[in-house]
Amino acid sequence: MATEIELALGEHTVKWSKTGYDDLIAKINVTDTGVSCVSVDVPGGACGSTTPPGVVVSDFTVTGYLKKVTGVTIRDYIDSAGWNNLTNDHLLALYYKFVGLDPAAESTRSKIPESKRPSAFPSTITNDYLLGIYYYFIGYKDLGNKKTGCNY
């Protein structure tokens, strides 16, 4: 499915989202002569790759290759408690995991009451997911939905 958008000259962040797939986030640069891929900002992502997660650019056409979700998704993580029942520990544990502090992440996750504790961390954690969890935590459902791609 192709989507056409018009972008001003300069660097832009592009995000592809589809249910059942990890989000794909890339930085592209638009010039008068074409578009180039600057970076793919997800683990394992690469510019010029048709292997998911990858981004390929040809003239003014940018194609994203999304990776199928494996394991726990951000929605699974949120659904463990419900968007309006997430605790500070949900946010803190996810943040620790995001920055690579796995022992602190697991210790904090274990402090979440068992009835609300996620079974595991999402296979993909992004800045947007962290912001989304924060927005849910403070009661801003619509902003949380926008950042996580969920629809509560």
Range of the domain at 138: 74-148
Residues 6 or more apart whose CB falls under 8 angstroms from that of 64 comprise 14, 16, 24, 26, 53, 54, 55
118 assigned to some structural domain: yes
Query: Are 61 and 79 found together in one domain?
Result: no
Pair 52, 97 in one domain: no
Residue 61 and residue 78 in one domain = no
In a domain, 88, yes or no: yes
Same domain, 44 and 97: no
Distance from C-alpha of 74 to C-alpha of 135, rounded to nearest angstrom: 14
Q: Are residues 56 and 100 in the same domain?
A: no
pLDDT of residue 10: 96
Domain assignment present for 2:
no
pTM above 0.75, yes or no: no
Q: Are 126 and 147 in contact (CB under 8 A)?
A: no
SS3 of 125-136: the string is: CCHHHHHHHHHH
- Report the distance separating Cα 83 and Cα 149, nearest Å: 13
Cα distances (angstroms) measured from residue 125 to each of 6, 20, 56:
29, 15, 23
> Are 81 and 141 found together in one domain?
yes
130 plus 89 within the same structural domain: yes
Task: Provide the number of structural domains found in the chain.
Answer: 2
Residue 3 lies in a domain: no
Answer yes or no: do 54 and 79 share one domain: no
Regarding whether 84 and 55 lie in a shared domain, the answer is no
- Classify 98 in phi/psi space as left (phi over 0), alpha (psi -120 to 50) or beta: alpha
The answer to whether residues 52 and 110 belong to one domain is: no
Quote the CA–CA distance of 38 and 70 in Å, as a whole number.
Answer: 26
Residues 61 and 113 in one domain: no
> pLDDT in tens for each of the 152 residues of the chain?
778 888 999 999 999 988 778 889 999 999 999 999 999 988 889 999 999 999 999 988 999 999 887 778 899 999 999 999 999 999 999 999 999 999 999 999 999 999 999 999 998 899 999 999 999 999 999 999 999 999 99
Judgement on whether residues 83 and 134 belong to the same structural domain of the protein: yes
